[in-house]
Amino acid sequence: MSKVEEATAVTAVTTRRNFLRSVVGMASVAAVATPLARKTATPASGSRNTIQSTPAQQVTAVDGPQDPLERMRADLARALQKPEAERRWVMVIDLRKCVGCTACTISCVAENHLPPGVVYRPVLEEEIGTFPNVAKRFLPRPCMQCDNPPCVDVCPVGATWKRSDGIIEIDYDQCIGCRYCITACPYNARTFDRGFVYNDESYVDNSVTFVGVADAEAYEMAAPYEYGEERPRKDGRSPIGNARKCHFCLHRLEKGMLPACTTTCIGRATYFGDASDPDSLVADLIASPNVMRLKEALGTEPKVYYLQ
């Protein structure tokens, strides 16, 4: 833990953050220890013990002394100075640090007011091995914002496209809801908004009294900030009836904020930034040898990278 403490002292943030950071650091290190040990131990047999005692700093070293969130915010601010076409937004997810808490999934649901049946960033759980030699791997799966997106060309009305900064956008007013794009995505990253709401009778358990139901309902029906548009949830209006997917929180980026999943990741496993800026944290990370992308063989060129 010494490295973590040292780092926090250097960045001289508030005492409260120091506390949180230490706790988070401990939690993530504890949680990744087993899968890390299992994964890396397999090829070189007998090395398990050494690996298991890997000190925390090896796991967090890539972050440097600075809080990665602070660094990413600075990276983001720099990227926003450039014209849109010169930015290359990428996300990096460190699988060794992901603890499978799904905070990112939920923060995304909250940020974008996602209804039942729509999810932008589920965390997939995979069990590797057989008992007692099992490890769990958690894999958060946002939209890959493919550089060669198979979902774009199939749209019969051109309602979805790749922006010059690489984010794949959907225009909810143009989308006719044919769902062709959903079938074309090799990552199941698009979902269909059928018009459900969480506060619907069929979801609410009347035998239990929930506190704050009215507020939650108001929140759910209120317009999210997606694509910077005002879209309250009512009368079957878009995005109801549309295909929906992760957009790297474009609306937040434009205001200089990191995506919701990135800021809420308690394991500090999610990184975000402009890969065309050589000084950015993500540019460092995607240069690591242990980087991989999902279904690389398809040639979709995802802009979400995983570290393993």
Partner 1 sequence: MNNNNSWKRILWLLSGVGFLIGLYGLYARLTLGHTDANYGSYIPWGLWVAGYVYLIGLSAGAFLLSTLVYVFRVKILEPIGRLALFTAVTTLVGAMVLIFLDLGHPERAWRLALHTNFRSIMGWMIWLYTGYFILLLVELWFASRVDLVACAGNPGFSGRLCRFLSFGSQDVSPERAAKDRHTLRILGTIGVPLAIAFHGGVGALFGVIGAREYWHSGLSPIFFLVGALLSGGALLTFVTAIWGPDVKSEKGQKLVLLLGQITLGLLAFDVLLEWAEYSIGLWNAVPGKTNGLLLTLKGPYWWVFWFVHLGLGVIVPGLLLALRGRSISAITTAGALIAVTFLSVRLNFVIPALAEPELEGLRTAFTGPGLTFSYFPSVSEWMLFIWAISVAALIFLAGTQLLPLTPKEA
Give the footprint of ligand SF4 on this chain (CB under 6 A): 143-146, 149-151, 154-155, 157, 159-160, 168, 170, 175-181, 185, 187, 189-190, 242-243, 245, 300
Structure tokens at 15: 């005492």
Rounded CA gap, 41 and 49, in Å?
A: 9
Q: Does 238 bind partner 1 (CB under 8 A)?
A: yes
CB of 72 to ligand SF4, least distance (A): 22
Q: Does 308 bind partner 1 (CB under 8 A)?
A: no
Q: Does 204 bind partner 1 (CB under 8 A)?
A: no
The stretches of the chain forming alpha helices (DSSP H) are: 2-11, 15-41, 48-52, 56-60, 68-81, 103-112, 150-153, 180-184, 213-221, 250-253, 260-264, 281-285
CB of 182 to partner 1, least distance (A): 4
CB of 177 to partner 1, least distance (A): 2
Residue 112 interacting entry, from partner 1, ligand SF4, none, C-beta within 5 to 8 Å by type:
none
CB of 185 to ligand SF4, least distance (A): 3
The helix or strand, by DSSP H or E, that contains position 168, with its residue range, turns out to be: strand 168-170
Residue 223 sits at φ, ψ, to 5 deg, of: -70, 130
Q: Residues in contact with partner 1, total (CB under 8 A)?
A: 50
Q: Which of 52, 55, 58, 54 is nearest to 38 (CA)?
A: 52
Query: Which residue of 43, 46, 236, 289 would you call a contact of partner 1, by CB under 8 A?
Result: 236
Place of tokens 């997606």: 226
From the CB of residue 240, how many other CB atoms can be counted at a distance below 10 Å?
A: 21
Place of tokens 């358990």: 205
Q: Considering Cα of 50, then 52, then 53, then 55, what sign does the dihedral take?
A: positive
Segment 149 to 168, residues that bind partner 1, using CB under 8 A: 150, 153-159
Structure tokens at 127: 């069990």
Contact 87, 100 (CB under 8 A): no
Residue placing its CB nearer to ligand SF4 in the complex, 72 or 185: 185
Residue placing its CB nearer to ligand SF4 in the complex, 188 or 288: 188
| Binding pattern for the stretch 74-113 against partner 1, x by CB under 8 A and - elsewhere | ----------------------------x--x--------
Residue 191 interacting entry, from ligand SF4, partner 1, none, C-beta within 5 to 8 Å by type:
partner 1
Q: Does 62 bind partner 1 (CB under 8 A)?
A: no
Residue placing its CB nearer to partner 1 in the complex, 153 or 279: 153
